[in-house]
A and B are shown apart, each in its own frame.
Chain A
Amino acid sequence: MIFTIFKKELKDTLRDRRTLMAMLVIPILIFPIIITLFASISEHFKESVMDKTLKIGYYQASDQNSVIKMLKNIPDSLGKMTFVPISSEKELKEQIQLDSLQGGLVFSKQFDQQLSGEQTANITVFSNATKVGYKERIEASLAIIDQQFIAQRLVKLKITNEQIKPIDVSYENTASDQETIGKLAGGILPYFFIAFGFIGCMYPAIDLFTGEKERGTIETLLTTPVERWKILFGKMGVVVLSGLAAASFALIGLFFSIEVMDLVKDPELLAVIHSLLTLKFLAFLYLLLIPLTVFFAGIMIPIAVYAKTFKEAQSIITPLNIVVVLPAMVGFFPGIELTSITACIPVVNIVLATKELIAGTLDIGLLALSFFVMISLATLAVIISFKQFDKESNVVI
């Protein structure tokens, strides 16, 4: 009988446009859209900053100033720059604000003498910090020139590089690429899964409980010879399936972006993703997602049963979305790891366990603890749902 109710509710749900959007269309499109947007914006930004010819003003230096000459000789491959003399520091600042100049160099009064006297000569660089990338290009060009002057002075002093650099430090990462990427960026995947799992559950939960009350169909359903717990389980099955489907479609969208649309260019990241998309990974992921989705369904159903209208249910569940999905952001912080304490915090444990799973450092004991916590909470949520669904005052308007 539970399956009869489940089949009917599934058919009904799949004919609801709102649910289809939240369960299928948005999750499947989200990763391709985000990755495409992110890649194209960053590519466009990179190109536009490099392509732009920076007009740099300088003050208190002549055309024959050695720094200006050297700057003019820097190859265009580092980005084109032109240099113009400016009559005052005030004018320099004004033109930078108007973006007619993208940067300014103010040389100290004794600059040439200090430089030739092998002292430290000062240049103040003016730039507008809101124009991202300009300061960095000027900085990079000046660093090249600084290095050239150092080299000249070392030759003159007959000192080798080794003499002024007694220690050479090199750094090696002992973590694998998978671990590094997993720990640093692995929180993004479970965040999206949790967000979509929640949204996927939301509309069917409201539609199948509050909606049934609002449309006046619940009365007739309750007069049929079917126990209420069976009705609840049949409906709950569809809510859980919708949440899992939304998360799964998000995964399919991610797979589509990587394998078909070829949107991930970084070979190291691509290698990690390929090593992750295994049956074992997916099995562990669903092991965590199923109790989480049951938990979501279990906290939404009592609200949906209590609410008298679709709007009322939506107005309670939507803020709950923030409460539930916000802890999922913990995965964005690299320092927080799955411990016996974090494994007991719902949602946080799923995010951190998934992150460890991606990094390949998942402790089975902590996974079992997280799973146990989620199963216990999901069971509790189901019991609360049943109690609420069994209250005649909440079921019939």
Chain B
Amino acid sequence: MIEVSNLRKEFILSKKQKKEFNTTENTSVAVDGISFVCEPGRVFSLLGPNGAGKTTTLRMLSTIFKPTSGSISVAGIDLQKNPNEARKKIGFLTGSTGLYARLTPDELINYFGALYEVNPEDLIQRKKYLFDLLGMNEFAHKRIGKLSTGMKQKVSICRTMIHDPEVVVFDEPTSGLDVITAENIIQLIRDCKTQGKTVIFSSHIMSEVDLLCDDIAIIHKGKILYNGTMKEFKANMKTENLTSEFIRIVHEA
């Protein structure tokens, strides 16, 4: 489970950034006191236009950024008080995730297994399971730099799941991928749900959200405009389709 309460993130602006944003303020608020809960066995979608605060929120959930104020609890662990314990419970995947091109998938998975302190026997078993599941055996010992985008995506998925996280954070996971490659991610999200994991993913693609999510939050300018189940969202729509409804809510804010 993920519990987020009054989460706020401010960034200190440099002189150059002040010029770029045409502001005299010393800070910029990326996330402005948001609260939500993601339940295990359900897929939570954070929907918002570019610059809404989705990535900043997910970076705080995955401990890359420290919140300015507010609290986050992941699998019952307070993220600020015990970040390292929380990290063991989190799997993190973004669409822009890079991989170490000079390593092989096998070496990379062993490395992340060691970083997550996965027991060596469990590591062998999980690696075998994931390599078989994703069809990675034939390229397991090739340099990642020589693999296709689809193969790399499979390596990323394997890297995310190697420590069997309770909570999985996806930041625009299908961005820049073709439909065939994106299907691997869609399937991974479905599998996580089936396995009872807590899943949160950010997107600005309504069709993807409709396909996968149980709960939805619409975020704009750092604030949550809507938070509820997908069923309720659909039932209360004032426009014809999901995309129009999303645009309406954002414009009315």
Query: Are B115 and A4 in touch, CB under 8 angstroms?
Result: yes
Query: Considering the complex, which residues of chain B in the window 99-155 have a beta carbon less than 8 Å from any beta carbon of chain A?
Result: 99-103, 107, 111-112, 114-117
Is B180 an interface residue, CB under 8 A from the partner?
no
Total contacts A to B, CB within 8 angstroms? 70
Given A217-B99, A220-B159, A393-B11, A4:B111 Cβ within 8 A: yes
Given A215-B98, A216-B96, A224:B64 Cβ within 8 A: no
Is A392 an interface residue, CB under 8 A from the partner?
yes
Partner of B63, one of A12, A222, A395: A222
Given A216-B96, A220-B92, A225-B117, A16:B102 Cβ within 8 A: yes
Interface size class of A (residues with CB under 8 A): 20 to 34
Query: Considering the complex, which residues of chain A in the window 1-38 have a beta carbon less than 8 Å from any beta carbon of chain B?
Result: 1, 4-5, 8, 11-12, 15-16
Is A226 an interface residue, CB under 8 A from the partner?
yes
Q: How far is the CA of A8 from the CA of B115 in the complex (A)?
A: 11
Of the candidate stretches B83-91, B186-194, B204-212, B237-245, the one touching chain A is B83-91
Residue of B62, B64, B85 most packed against chain A (CB within 10 A): B64
Q: How far is the CA of A220 from the CA of B103 in the complex (A)?
A: 15
Query: Are A225 and B59 in touch, CB under 8 angstroms?
Result: no
**Which chain A positions have C-beta within 8 A of B114?**
1, 4
Given A4-B111, A225-B117, A220:B97 Cβ within 8 A: yes
Is A227 an interface residue, CB under 8 A from the partner?
yes
Is A278 an interface residue, CB under 8 A from the partner?
no
Closest-by-CB residue of A relative to B98 is A216
Is B94 an interface residue, CB under 8 A from the partner?
yes
Query: Are A215 and B101 in touch, CB under 8 angstroms?
Result: yes
**Which chain A positions have C-beta within 8 A of B64?**
219, 222-223, 392, 395-396
Partner of B100, one of A1, A12, A226: A12
Query: Are B92 and A219 in touch, CB under 8 angstroms?
Result: yes
**Which chain B positions have C-beta within 8 A of A223?**
62-64, 87, 90, 92
Closest-by-CB residue of B relative to A395 is B64
**Which chain B positions have C-beta within 8 A of A395?**
64
Query: Are B92 and A217 in touch, CB under 8 angstroms?
Result: no
**Which chain B positions have C-beta within 8 A of A226?**
84, 115
Query: Considering the complex, which residues of chain A in the window 175-231 have a beta carbon less than 8 Å from any beta carbon of chain B?
Result: 215-217, 219-227
A68 CB to nearest B CB, Å: 75
B188 CB to nearest A CB, Å: 16
Closest-by-CB residue of B relative to A207 is B102
Query: Are B85 and A11 in touch, CB under 8 angstroms?
Result: no
Closest-by-CB residue of B relative to A222 is B64
**Which chain A positions have C-beta within 8 A of B159?**
220
**Which chain B positions have C-beta within 8 A of A1?**
114-115
**Which chain B positions have C-beta within 8 A of A392?**
64-66
**Which chain A positions have C-beta within 8 A of B98?**
215-217
Q: How far is the CA of A381 from the CA of B119 in the complex (A)?
A: 36
A375 CB to nearest B CB, Å: 30
B149 CB to nearest A CB, Å: 14
Interface size on B, residues (CB 8 A): 31
Partner of B103, one of A4, A12, A221: A12
A243 CB to nearest B CB, Å: 20
A155 CB to nearest B CB, Å: 84
Query: Are B59 and A396 in touch, CB under 8 angstroms?
Result: yes
Query: Are A227 and B111 in touch, CB under 8 angstroms?
Result: no
B168 CB to nearest A CB, Å: 11
Q: How far is the CA of A8 from the CA of B103 in the complex (A)?
A: 9
Query: Are A225 and B97 in touch, CB under 8 angstroms?
Result: no
B14 CB to nearest A CB, Å: 8
Residue of A8, A12, A226, A227 most packed against chain B (CB within 10 A): A8
Mask of B59-95 contacts with A, CB within 8 angstroms, 1/0: 1001111100000000000000000110110101010
Closest-by-CB residue of B relative to A393 is B11
**Which chain A positions have C-beta within 8 A of B117?**
225
A225 CB to nearest B CB, Å: 4
Query: Considering the complex, which residues of chain A in the window 216-269 have a beta carbon less than 8 Å from any beta carbon of chain B?
Result: 216-217, 219-227
Residue of A16, A219, A224 most packed against chain B (CB within 10 A): A224
Residue of B11, B90, B115 most packed against chain A (CB within 10 A): B115
Query: Are A11 and B107 in touch, CB under 8 angstroms?
Result: yes
**Which chain A positions have C-beta within 8 A of B96?**
216
**Which chain A positions have C-beta within 8 A of B90?**
223
Closest-by-CB residue of A relative to B90 is A223
Given A223-B90, A225-B85, A392-B65, A8:B97 Cβ within 8 A: no
Closest-by-CB residue of B relative to A221 is B115
Given A216-B96, A219-B92, A393-B11, A225:B103 Cβ within 8 A: no
Question: Given known contacts A5-B115, A215-B100, A216-B98, what 18 new A-B pairs fall within 8 Å (CB)?
Answer: A8-B111, A11-B107, A12-B102, A216-B96, A217-B97, A219-B64, A219-B97, A220-B112, A223-B63, A224-B112, A224-B116, A225-B87, A225-B115, A226-B115, A227-B84, A392-B64, A392-B66, A396-B65
Binding site for B on A (CB under 8 A): 1, 4-5, 8, 11-12, 15-16, 215-217, 219-227, 392-393, 395-396
Q: Report 18 cross-chain contacts, Cβ distance below 8 Å, ordered by A residue.
A: A4-B115, A8-B100, A8-B107, A11-B103, A215-B98, A216-B97, A217-B97, A220-B97, A223-B87, A224-B87, A224-B112, A224-B115, A224-B116, A225-B85, A225-B116, A226-B115, A392-B65, A392-B66
Lowest 9 CB-CB distances: which A-B pairs, in order?
Answer: A216-B98, A225-B87, A15-B102, A215-B98, A224-B115, A223-B92, A225-B84, A217-B98, A223-B62
